[in-house]
A and B are shown apart, each in its own frame.
Chain A
């Protein structure tokens, strides 16, 4: 088993003045046996990073180091086959003309392992992945889920130091994806191999990761456990990328007497002191699921906002209520509120569907808790209380 250090990784395409950098100096330490998910929107460089670890892309700067029991090894110039890794591709990349057995055994045959051992390893992998009856089939005779399992089998039989997954679930339908997610988790618990998993799906990232790297525009925005990333997003990007629906972000100024004045001029009462004292520009974030409908008098550490409902979406267990925030005086007509991430979008609240059924036009009193508010610096977009 290996741990991986990424030290100042840079990736540039082209050379000279025309070079475009897609990864700008990324540092991360991935522990032995850890399952790390790299998540980000398309084009953020997450697949490129994984392919550099695999050795399929050249590293333009920095070092990729694999640390094993045998010692540290800089693998920048090492061929993929000699890095002791296995990779599962998005479209599985099974050899179409080989049987399932041969697909799994191919790498071992090239490594010149004895026939008995190859058979043993393949059969064991087939047992783990429930591919027993399919070994003689060709890939095109298999369903998407089965192909996916063969691709994983091909990775398992190599008994690598590191597993690399490049969006392996994105070609599966929703139900199969959820099921395979569990299988991958089970597999990791069983084999305990260091794994890097790339995805653009935040649900996959949250459910699979022991720690996750959130990437945007070739930079690492945050590296932490799913709990930490959710509870204390390091930047506004992470705040809006992780969590569904995304966090409400309001740009504005911290005013006197515990008020926040949004750019649209709406004054909001704050439930407590802002973490960084003094007046000034701030971005205030609050997750839709952390707001509730208020009853009675506000308790300590609690403030009241009002929301004029415009659209209600029914999701089954929950309702998403979209609307505009009202001024602190309440009596005034609700003014428009601009969100930081998507100007003009509505403020969203997630409510239990069985308890509340607001209608469009209704004014909903909201309960806001101090510990549920996130504060960001508008110039750096970074979290203020880190």
Chain B
């Protein structure tokens, strides 16, 4: 079998219009086993539409999607993927145990759910009706359902919206374990640190088009930028060539060659103190790359 046919996600030339609006334009995506892809983009960029086409909730106008070589929404594809219901999507008369047992019964072989219950800390909630659940509790049930039975491919749309910090950490660990063990994960998120912690690759979409695509390692390597931060004595201003910006009592510089920059600062005898040099956060790297890549 052709390797690409066997891929968890293989999407080529996807296009989708709603009336006169082009929601997605010639979008191609692929995902290997043991890989996590972060789908990024501003609100309204087309992330949800793209995800809906990948999962099989929407049919593309052009192009096609294959999940492990199967058509999305086909029985074969559904048997291999895990999805969360949207938040607030549970009948409130049910308990997490009942919903998990139901989802388990829909698989060809009944799967135990002790592992996901433990992983997402559901034990104290397991027999309570979901009517009184907080947003975070509902979200944990939804995540448990996505990973139930360790499907080969998991789709997560804003998985940690409403989760507290502890639950977010737990989620990252579980998601990483899942990917390391060969699972394939597609994730949309607003949390950059979450994308950095979980994903191997990112695809950035804007106005329905792919505007950036690459592994996180590549993106970081392409961008050697560092942020230099320092304080100056009262009343002193940094020279113009530094293009420093004031943040509280510190000055910030984003520099592609922090070594050269620093040498010149020393040569010119600038009286800085409290110096730190850090790699740029992913969010800032992308903000710097994108204007350069625009035609």
Co-complex (A, B) = no
Point out residues on A near B: beta carbons under 8 Å. Answer: none
